[in-house]
Chains A and B, each alone.
Chain A
Amino acid sequence: MTPPILQVEGYGKHFQLHEQNKLIPSSHNVNFTVHAGHLTALIGPTGAGKSSVLKGIYRTYLPSAGRILYRDALGHEVDLALAGEHQILELRRREIGFVTQFLHCLPRQATLDVVAQPLLTLGVERPEARQRAAGLLLAMNLPQRLWSVSPATFSGGERQRVNLARGFIAKPRLLLLDEPTASLDPKTAENVIGLIEGLKAEGTAMLAIFHHPETTRRLADQVVELAPPPAVEELLKEIA
């Protein structure tokens, strides 16, 4: 078997809130691998730190412990937990995508441009980028009359579709998915599952959290169960 694209070893994350003088544990001792063309699913109860793992890999969170070894397109191994900011930005631009539960995008921008954005930053010409964006929005069943307006007024399900389309468009090498089908109607969810299968077949490695166990069962090649982190006292003993 080829070496994994992503290997997470002993990942841990806790927040230190200075104002309240509190330590909030989030993830603890997480280990797993993700391979090209495979989907690894994270499962576990609320508070087990599933999202925190995704955010740590994307470096929206600074990991507190462990190594996040990523093998880039050139075959170099990078520890994402320690990589420089510019290197992370470059990987986000070219290789690592993240579809979060919420759509963060520039205000006042047409949906078509929001979705096309990752391609534009890679230097694809605007007409081609918009055309590919249109193709994805069509596959997501987003009504065409919405394409030219900003997603600001969209419903939860509509936003989620925009979010997914933007995450899929550049076909990243590693895609992080945080409950991508949670607020979709069954028919659209089915389309999204089809798109995920398509991306997998093209070689994208995926790490996902799914709302429905059924989706996990259908899409996951590997399932990793996370346990809630130990209480603060335990954690402190370990740190000390």
Chain B
Amino acid sequence: MNKILEVRNLGKIYGPGCPQCIESTGPDADTNLCPHCGSVVAIHDVSFDLFEGEILGVMGESGSGKSTVVKALYFDQPPSSGAAIFYDRDKQYELFALNAAQQRWLRNHRFGMVYQNPHLGLNFNISAGGNIAERLLMSDLMDYGAIRERAKALLARTEVLLSRVDDLPKNFSGGMQQRVQIAKALATQPPLLFLDEVTTGLDLSVQARILDLILEIQQELKTAMIVVTHDLGVIRLLAGRAIVMKYGRVIEAGLTDQILEDPQHAYTQRLVASAL
């Protein structure tokens, strides 16, 4: 098995930042807000590896910084510090040293993202099929007929009714919008997919089918995934390994079954004990 992503000492501070920011925040300080300068230390010193075809869970409650990690890696928000190396076939990319055009190329060709909020992942002014076509166009597929066929195949794979290819995303249910987002993310068959709270807020039965779909895709395409969630059930179902975050720091990392059955950190013990 080969490494696909190496993240080292990733940090993100919102605000001016001061020399005391780091020591005044984190799980021990019980806050991510620096009392000296008012900056928010969203994440600090986050490091992990991801292997090909592996699903890594990132768990923690609101404000733990878990979404900031994937948003930094997907170039939505540049980090304040740290490095990440993406290993792609025989190439390797130092993500935060790339220029904007190179970052856009990776986003469009080699990464995929599914957001909790479909408004972030989909263009609501164009049809479901159009959304997928947009991504295919960005990745250099130009033939109209080929694009339409590929879009239809992707929507069929994610179980969106083909009769609705030309409908606008706003006329879809929440579960359907997530399916279109997944189809769009998969359009270029990226080796790396980020999933940010993709089932949060959906009905339980819809959640279950989306999770099944994600697992099937992972088994078919061997896509490596980073799954951000506050839901222990999602972690248990999808992830082989997991990291636990609190106030921007990784407080525990391990095999998923070990974290759930033998959690080491006081916070993780409380989290696992309070799961329904």
Contact = CB atoms under 8 A, between A and B. Distances in A.
Partners in one complex: yes
B89 interface: no
Contact of A89 (B208, B212, B255, B265): B255
Contacts, number: 45
B258 A59 contact: yes
B262 A89 contact: no
A18 B212 contact: no
A62 B263 CA distance: 9
B77 interface: no
A15 B258 CA distance: 12
A86 interface: yes
Given A15-B262, A86-B51, A108-B208, A60 B269 contact: no
A107 B264 contact: no
Given A85-B241, A86-B1, A60 B257 contact: yes
A106 interface: yes
A172 B197 CA distance: 36
A120 B222 CA distance: 13
A86 B255 CA distance: 9
Contact of B269 (A19, A55, A89): A19
B261 A55 contact: yes
Contacts of B273: 19
Interface in B238-272: 240-241, 253-255, 257-258, 261-262, 264-266, 269-270
Nearest to A120: B219
Contact of B266 (A18, A62, A89, A107): A18
16 contacts: A16-B264, A18-B269, A19-B269, A55-B262, A59-B255, A60-B257, A60-B258, A61-B261, A62-B254, A85-B253, A86-B49, A89-B240, A89-B255, A107-B208, A107-B237, A108-B212
Interface residues of A, number: 19
Interface in B175-229: 208, 212, 215, 219
A85 B266 contact: no
A236 interface: no
B262 A60 contact: yes
Interface in B143-178: none
Nearest to A98: B257
A90 B53 CA distance: 13
Contact of A19 (B237, B264, B270): B270
B111 to A, nearest CB: 22
A5 interface: no
A119 interface: no
Interface residues on B, range: 20 to 34
B51 A106 contact: no
A17 interface: yes
A20 to B, nearest CB: 10
A88 interface: yes
Contacts of A106: 215, 237
Interface string A50-71: 0000010001111000000000
Given A106-B215, A106-B237, 11 more contacts: A18-B265, A18-B269, A19-B269, A59-B255, A60-B258, A61-B258, A85-B253, A85-B254, A86-B51, A89-B241, A120-B219
Interface in B115-140: none
Interface string B17-58: 000000000000000000000000000000001010000000
Interface in B1-24: 1
B214 to A, nearest CB: 12
B63 to A, nearest CB: 21
B202 to A, nearest CB: 16
B2 to A, nearest CB: 11
B215 A62 contact: no
Nearest to B261: A60
Contact of A62 (B51, B212, B258): B258
Interface string A3-22: 00000000000011111000
Contacts of B253: 85
A85 B255 contact: yes
A108 B209 CA distance: 9
A62 B264 contact: yes
Complex A-B, nearest 7 residue pairs according to Cβ-Cβ distance, in ascending order:
A18-B266, A61-B262, A60-B257, A60-B261, A85-B241, A85-B255, A60-B258
A49 to B, nearest CB: 13
Contacts of A59: 255, 258
Contacts of A108: 208, 212
Contacts of B215: 106
A23 to B, nearest CB: 13
Contacts of B266: 18-19
Contacts of B255: 59-60, 85, 88-89
- The interface centre, meaning the residue of A15, A16, A86 with most chain B CB atoms within 10 A of its CB, is A86
Given A62-B258, A62-B264, A120-B219, A17 B269 contact: yes
